[in-house]
């Protein structure tokens, strides 16, 4: 599943092309050994063929979208439909089934929201404290040639999407960059602005979004002009 420009150790994450669904498990009474389990909501993959992508490289600000979208069970489902589950557990009740507990996703999203809120007002020490205490991403360590090709450096490789999102959150704390939301109303992408990233003038995440926004504004202007013309005629 490698792609030109990406290294073998970089996270490649699947999205179930058949989609996902929310599933409710009622409370279960167990034996005295197992105890009881409370009612739990899961998001479950439908078991279709996977589509792969590279979250760290293709969506470097995906953690912002995750935090914005995943504020409810329906938001978790919407995010998974585009980017896959943040972590994968085997569903023992179904052959090749994969599921994830919704509350775990919501907790991670809330942590990232709290960290971003502090970063956005310049309180990076408190943001760093929250990350250090609660993030706990699962990573492997690789060695890569540095950008100047003069030596090698340590690379942290996330093993799941949740860990990738938390590493992106870490980067927003330690880097001298800001994050901006694409101005296209139909887009939820964010992009970095500052040293080593986009310039301060940039307003859109891509040329496609800039063109779409321009066309929408032209349609609005034409509709407004037509309405004013109608009022003058009346």
- Give me the domain span that covers residue 169: 13-26+39-174
Does residue 7 lie in a domain region? no
Does residue 232 lie in a domain region? no
Could you give the CA distance from residue 131 to residue 115 in angstroms, rounded to a whole number? 7
Poorest-pLDDT segment among 57-71, 103-117, 186-200 = 186-200
Does residue 223 lie in a domain region? no
What does the pLDDT look like over 91-135, one tens digit per residue?
545 545 789 999 999 999 999 999 999 999 999 999 999 999 999
What pLDDT was estimated at residue 217? Answer: 78
Give first-to-last CA distance, the chain, whole Å.
64
Does residue 119 lie in a domain region? yes
- The pTM for the full model equals 0.78
Could you give the CA distance from residue 63 to residue 70 in angstroms, rounded to a whole number? 10
Does residue 141 lie in a domain region? yes
Does residue 1 lie in a domain region? no
Does residue 194 lie in a domain region? no
Does residue 45 lie in a domain region? yes
- Which CATH number covers residue 123? 1.10.3300
Number of domains the chain contains: 1
């Amino acid at each position: 599943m490698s792609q030109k420009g990406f290294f073998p150790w970089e996270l490649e994450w699947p999205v179930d092309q058949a989609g996902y669904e929310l599933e409710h498990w009622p409370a279960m009474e167990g034996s005295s050994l197992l105890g009881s389990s409370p009612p739990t909501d899961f998001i479950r993959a439908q078991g279709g063929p996977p589509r792969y992508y590279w979250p760290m490289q293709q969506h470097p600000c995906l953690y912002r979208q995750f935090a914005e979208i995943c504020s409810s069970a329906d938001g978790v489902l919407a995010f998974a439909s585009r980017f896959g589950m943040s972590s994968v557990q085997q569903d023992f009740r179904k052959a090749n089934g994969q599921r994830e507990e919704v509350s775990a996703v919501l907790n991670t999203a809330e942590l990232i929201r709290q960290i971003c809120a502090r970063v956005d007002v310049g309180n990076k020490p408190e943001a760093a404290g929250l990350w250090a205490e609660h993030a706990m991403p699962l990573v492997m360590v690789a060695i890569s040639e540095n950008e100047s090709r003069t030596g090698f450096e340590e690379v942290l490789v996330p093993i799941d999407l949740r860990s990738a999102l938390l590493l992106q959150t870490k980067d927003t704390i330690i880097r001298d960059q800001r994050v901006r939301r694409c101005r296209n109303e139909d887009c939820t992408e964010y992009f970095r602005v500052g040293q080593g990233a986009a310039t301060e003038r940039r307003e859109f995440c891509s040329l496609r979004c800039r063109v779409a926004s321009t066309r929408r504004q032209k349609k609005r202007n034409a509709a407004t002009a037509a309405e004013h013309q109608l009022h003058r005629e009346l």
